Amino acid sequence: MSGQSLLVPGELSPARSVPGNIRRPEYVGKPAPTPYTGPEVQSAETIEAMRIAGRIAAQAMEEAAKLIVPGVTTDELDKVAHAYMCDHGAYPSTLGYRGYPKSLCSSVNEVICHGIPDSTVLRDGDIVNLDVTAYIGGVHGDNNATYLCGDVDEESRLLVERTREALNRAIKAVKPGRQINVIGRVIESYAKRFGYGVVRDFTGHGINSSFHSGLIIPHYDSPHATTVIEPGMTFTIEPMLTLGTHDYDMWDDGWTVVTKDRKRTAQFEHTLVVTDSGAEILTLP
């Protein structure tokens, strides 16, 4: 794999402002969100609102991803996504969530998830995950994808390609009447074909008016994930596959999660609504 040196924390830029007319999620300015107590099956009105939020999140991620070239900082990616969401009347869901300081997560190379955009400069050969969530109309839309920066080695490129395929296979496995654990079973069995690790401690989740509803979507075959899938459920699937172990360390910032062996990792995510026959992706640009 790539011989890139390991990441170190960069410098944070000042907090970005959000126009006062844009509705904030209830958790902004609080240490934690109010626990969600509503249903996992959503109304037609909520689902339609989530289509709008999901589309804005997907488009904001696309706009930021256009800048992924060697020499660009992850903070510049955050700036673009932040501006796109605000310009379209959406609040960047991560900004102020449990104190998170930025409008997207930028996870480079060995960072599994929740990397904080800063002065880190992208290098030729890096792989870069962008995780963008938009809040508008009282609901969230959440998606992420891993991108190639410049000339990326074959091992890393295949990891990215296969992680995207793992998500696609998992989405196809979503059917009413099946248990949630079918999702992780499909992902894990596919990942094992290539000897990849499957991250266990960070999962997909229910999403609606709440950023994280409490519904857990494991990406491995969990015997505890016995919730039956029903039409109208809304949740994310976001497999995180690694070139080595699924174990992790966390930086002192309390957010940035890196593989314990510092090998590379990739992730892809969509927000879905369960239909009568399968699943509809809500985070399409």
Dump pLDDT digits (tens) for 238-254: 999 999 999 999 999 99
For the chain, the distance separating the N- and C-terminal CA atoms, rounded to the nearest angstrom, is 32
Structure tokens at 26: 């209830």
Identity of the amino acid at 3 = G
* Average pLDDT score over the chain: 97
Distance CA(65)–CA(149), nearest Å, equals 10
What's the whole-model pTM score?
Answer: 0.96
Count other C-beta atoms under 10 Å from residue 214's C-beta: 12
pLDDT of residue 2 exceeding 70: no
Look at phi and psi of residue 150 and say left if phi exceeds 0, alpha if psi is from -120 to 50, else beta.
left
Matching residue, tokens 């992902």 = 187
Q: Enumerate the β-bridge partners of residue 134.
A: 92, 141
Question: What confidence score (pLDDT) does residue 22 get?
Answer: 98
pLDDT digits (tens, 9 = 90+) for 168-187: 999 999 999 999 999 999 99
pLDDT for residue 4: 76
Residue-level pLDDT at 234: 98
Task: Work out the average pLDDT over 55-80.
Answer: 98
Instruction: Give the integer Cα–Cα distance in Å for 64 and 67.
Output: 6
Cα angle value 266/146/168 (rounded, 5°):
80
The whole-number average pLDDT for the span 216-239 is 97
Residues 84-142 have pLDDT tens digits of 999 999 999 999 999 999 999 999 999 999 999 999 999 999 999 999 999 999 999 99
For the segment 272-283, the average pLDDT, to the nearest whole number, is 98
Count Cα atoms within 13 angstroms, Cβ side, for 130.
30
Helix extents (H) in 107-211: 154-173, 181-192
Mean pLDDT of all residues in 192-212: 98
